[in-house]
Copies of this chain bind each other. A is one copy, B any other.
Amino acid sequence: MKFVRQFPALDRRALLSSLAMLPLLSASFRSTTAEAQTQRDPLASWNDGATKSSILNFVGRVTTQGGPDFVPVDQRIATFDNDGTLWIEQPMYIQLAFALDRVKTMAPMHPEWKTRQPFAAVLDGDMKALAAAGEKGLVEIIAVTHAGMTTAEFEKITSDWIATARDHRFKRPYTELAYQPMLELLAYLRANGFKTFIVSGGGIEFMRPWTERIYGIPPEQVVGSSIKTRFEMKDGAPTLFRLQEVNFVDDKTGKPIGINEHIGRRPIAAFGNSDGDLEMLQWTTLGAAGARFGLLVHHTDAEREYAYDRHSHFGKLDVALDAAAVNRWTVVDMKKDWKRIFAFD
């Protein structure tokens, strides 16, 4: 009772009676908070139904202390694909839109591009010629737009672009095209002690400048594809120079490999939307004891967003859709399960 000695002028009795009341007050505050939380649905943009219930049930089970499926906080790892899972990937991956814009920005310094493929196709907006250039053409575009500068320079380039570029259909910055129900899901999982990671086929350095602001996911919890870098001291300052050499492709079987390398624990929940996420969902849900959760976002809403699956060029969902039925992964029917798609809806 040191504090009583420190405040001899205080009425001891009043002080003690205040102390006696503290537990009541705090219980009262607690119940008010709990009430507020119940009133505010953490997944407000999800329609009631089997999909939403499967999420709530899973989180309820792994967070119930003493329950058969309880998972300690440090093991509550959840991994999310990005393109098509957290934000849009049609009519093309946003990173590809960045690369094409970047070719246009760089063109004045490369007059030879006017007649050289695949660059001429990009500059002429000739998507057919670009498609004809195939993967080889794409790799060339990625190489000139993503390499040949320091990591600090690339961070500035991507940050500037993401702040100004607009999606053609929605006339919005791409960062506003994150799915509101998924943002709620990320926040809901974190409120329940989960550590949320991005595990994307997209470029790790393309995502990191904005994932914390948009998704609440800090750079160190972003796993993605990468190119090699070289360390150099330049005028006394250390730099990392981005090389035209692939380091890691974080897609398909690369996802569990990337998860193991970066996180070093097996997730207990994984969220994706395409065949590129199949192995991540397998790694997460199969062959390990305890409660596990796999979810695929199925794009079924051409009106509010896009509808595509087995035959799509970007975000093809075919084998993984069949696997979902076998493995009892939750499949989100966007049209039916999501009250709204974007925050501005």
Beta-carbon contact of A3 and B17 below 8 Å: no
Interchain CB contact (< 8 A) of A7 among B24, B74, B218: B24
Q: In the complex, which residues 159-201 of chain A have their Cβ closer than 8 Å to any Cβ of chain B?
A: 195
> Given A32-B3, A218-B74 in contact, is the A204-B261 Cβ separation under 8 Å?
yes
Closest Cβ of chain B to A233, distance in Å, is: 7
Beta-carbon contact of A264 and B231 below 8 Å: no
> Which interface class (under 10, 10 to 19, 20 to 34, 35 or more) fits A?
35 or more
Beta-carbon contact of A231 and B219 below 8 Å: no
Contact with B along A208-244 (1 / 0, CB 8 A): 1000100000111110001001110100111110000
Which residues of the other chain, B, contact A238 by a CB distance below 8 angstroms?
256, 279, 282-283, 286-287
**Does A54 make an interface contact (CB < 8 A)?**
no
> Which partner residue on chain B sits nearest A286 by CB separation?
B238
Q: What CA separation (Å) do A19 and B14 show in the bound complex? A: 11
> Given A220-B264, A231-B279, A237-B286 in contact, is the A18-B25 Cβ separation under 8 Å?
yes
Contact with B along A31-52 (1 / 0, CB 8 A): 1100000000000000000000
> Given A238-B287, A240-B260, A279-B238 in contact, is the A21-B32 Cβ separation under 8 Å?
no
Beta-carbon contact of A257 and B231 below 8 Å: yes
Q: What CA separation (Å) do A263 and B24 show in the bound complex? A: 44
For chain A, what secondary structure do more than half of its interface residues adopt (helix, strand, loop), or is it mixed?
helix
Which residues of the other chain, B, contact A220 by a CB distance below 8 angstroms?
77, 195, 220-221, 262-265
Beta-carbon contact of A15 and B21 below 8 Å: yes
Contact with B along A249-269 (1 / 0, CB 8 A): 000010011001111110000
Interchain CB contact (< 8 A) of A219 among B15, B218, B233, B265: B265
**Does A2 make an interface contact (CB < 8 A)?**
yes
Which residues of the other chain, B, contact A31 by a CB distance below 8 angstroms?
6
Contact with B along A278-296 (1 / 0, CB 8 A): 0100110011000000000
Closest Cβ of chain B to A39, distance in Å, is: 12
Q: What CA separation (Å) do A282 and B28 show in the bound complex? A: 53
**Does A95 make an interface contact (CB < 8 A)?**
no
**Does A58 make an interface contact (CB < 8 A)?**
no
Closest Cβ of chain B to A185, distance in Å, is: 20
Which residues of the other chain, B, contact A231 by a CB distance below 8 angstroms?
253, 256-257, 279, 283
**Does A10 make an interface contact (CB < 8 A)?**
yes
Closest Cβ of chain B to A128, distance in Å, is: 36
Beta-carbon contact of B264 and A208 below 8 Å: yes
> Given A21-B18, A220-B262 in contact, is the A236-B286 Cβ separation under 8 Å?
yes
> Which partner residue on chain B sits nearest A261 by CB separation?
B226
| Sampled A-B contacts (17; CB under 8 Å) | A2-B28, A3-B25, A3-B32, A6-B31, A15-B25, A18-B22, A74-B218, A151-B260, A205-B264, A219-B264, A220-B221, A220-B263, A230-B257, A231-B279, A239-B287, A240-B257, A262-B262
A contacts, CB < 8 Å to B: 2-3, 6-7, 10, 14-15, 17-19, 21-22, 24-25, 28-29, 31-32, 74, 77, 151, 195, 204-205, 208, 212, 218-222, 226, 229-231, 233, 236-240, 247, 253, 256-257, 260-265, 279, 282-283, 286-287
